[in-house]
Amino acid sequence: MKILVTGGLGFIGSHTVVELQNVGYDVVIIDDLSNASEKVLDGITAITGKKPLFEKLNLRERNKVEDFFHRHNDIEGVIHFAASKAVGESVENPLLYYENNLSSLVYLLKELVKKKGASFIFSSSCTVYGQADAMPITENAPVKNAESPYGNTKQIGEEIISDTCKAHEELQAIALRYFNPVGAHESAEIGELPIGIPQNLVPFITQTAIGLRDQLSVFGDDYPTPDGTCIRDYIHVVDLAKAHVIALQRLLNKKNKQRYEVFNLGTGRGSSVLEVIKSFEHVSGEKLNYKITGRRPGDVISAYADTVKANEELGWKAELDLDEAMLSAWKWEQKIRS
């Protein structure tokens, strides 16, 4: 069975390709290499022993997307990761984000609704909840005004998919709202490859420890949390990748209850920034150079998932813990700098 993975050479996409191949799917990757390297294909192949098909294609080019689906008319499911994801850049260049994240989604859906039956998995984010009123965050928590154009593309993306499912009976879809994906494959063959200064905590930690950055700034220790630093739900990327396979199979096996469904993907455990640093120091044996600075505008205080729906309805549960994620991220950082 042939599955299309867009953005399949990126961080979460590459780990998902591995898990899809591990259970026997044929994978075709589309990626425009705007935030990935073709070398990731070698990492995937080293793990699975099978090189996935790859097409360098920009999903903003509608004719090329149409042509791709003509040539691959046997695709039965699509997992759509391709998007621009830098929050700060989206504030500076909103049109780039609306164009890239939304036109690519629309062009894909236009092809899928032409098919007899189509299963579609969308990368959404816990940013849709903003600062939720209650913890842990359930899927029923209200969607708050987006803090950035990037966050808005996830909210609008969900609405586009929901509307399209209502109008086209053949389409069924699941939006997966990720909390904070971290870590790398245990083989250290694939992992996160941030371009420039990392936006996320874990690659910033590992780059500081390896000597690429002088110091990590912890943005604020005066939040109303036990140690004063912000709390997030860090989910191992391999657990996250496995959830995509399970969500896809739910659609392919017609186990879904509605034609458009939403699930949170997190561990259900909140960790503070200082706890993440402690976990890193514990598993790596390194002392991290960090300092406490002022709060960063736009940061929510706390966000962690209620996992009941994902556990009971989807049948997926995170298995790896923060220490395992930090160790895998550290092994990956050491490998790419060696």
Ligand X SMILES: NC(=O)c1ccc[n+]([C@@H]2O[C@H](COP(=O)([O-])OP(=O)(O)OC[C@H]3O[C@@H](n4cnc5c(N)ncnc54)[C@H](O)[C@@H]3O)[C@@H](O)[C@H]2O)c1
Residues that bind ligand X (CB under 6 A): 7, 9-13, 30-36, 58-60, 81-85, 100, 104, 123, 125, 178, 181, 200
Cross-strand pairs, 234 = 180
Q: Using the minimum distance from each CB to ligand X, give the nearer residue, 22 or 58.
A: 58
DSSP string, 33-49: SSS--TTHHHHHHHHHS
Do 275 and 302 meet the contact criterion of CB atoms below 8 Å apart? Answer: no
Is 150 considered catalytic here? Answer: yes
Q: How far apart are CA 246 and CA 199, in angstroms?
A: 29
User: 139-149 burial by CB neighbour count: b if 16+ within 10 A, else e?
Assistant: bebebbebbbb
In whole angstroms, the minimum distance from the beta carbon of 142 to ligand X comes to 19
Q: Using the minimum distance from each CB to ligand X, give the nearer residue, 126 or 274.
A: 126
In whole angstroms, the minimum distance from the beta carbon of 232 to ligand X comes to 10
Which residue out of 107, 129, 150, 223 is catalytically annotated?
Answer: 150
In whole angstroms, the minimum distance from the beta carbon of 27 to ligand X comes to 14
Q: How far apart are CA 141 and CA 121, in angstroms?
A: 21
Q: How far apart are CA 119 and CA 259, in angstroms?
A: 9
CA–chain centroid gap for 318, Å, is 14
DSSP string, 105-122: HHHHHHHHTTSSSEEEEE
Residue least distant from ligand X (Cβ): 10
Q: How far apart are CA 182 and CA 11, in angstroms?
A: 9
Question: Does residue 250 sit in helix, strand or coil?
Answer: helix
Q: Using the minimum distance from each CB to ligand X, give the nearer residue, 13 or 270.
A: 13
In whole angstroms, the minimum distance from the beta carbon of 287 to ligand X comes to 26
In whole angstroms, the minimum distance from the beta carbon of 177 to ligand X comes to 8
In whole angstroms, the minimum distance from the beta carbon of 169 to ligand X comes to 26
In whole angstroms, the minimum distance from the beta carbon of 243 to ligand X comes to 12
Q: Using the minimum distance from each CB to ligand X, give the nearer residue, 44 or 83.
A: 83
Q: Using the minimum distance from each CB to ligand X, give the nearer residue, 194 or 222.
A: 194
Q: Using the minimum distance from each CB to ligand X, give the nearer residue, 30 or 231.
A: 30
Q: How far apart are CA 62 and CA 55, in angstroms?
A: 15
Helices (H), the chain: 11-22, 40-48, 62-71, 87-92, 94-98, 104-112, 149-167, 201-210, 237-252, 273-284, 308-309, 322-337
Q: What are phi and psi of 320, to 5 degrees?
A: -100, 145
Edge-first strand order for the sheet with 271-272 is 271-272, 231-232, 302-303
Q: Using the minimum distance from each CB to ligand X, give the nearer residue, 32 or 158.
A: 32
CA–chain centroid gap for 16, Å, is 10
Active site residue ranges: 150
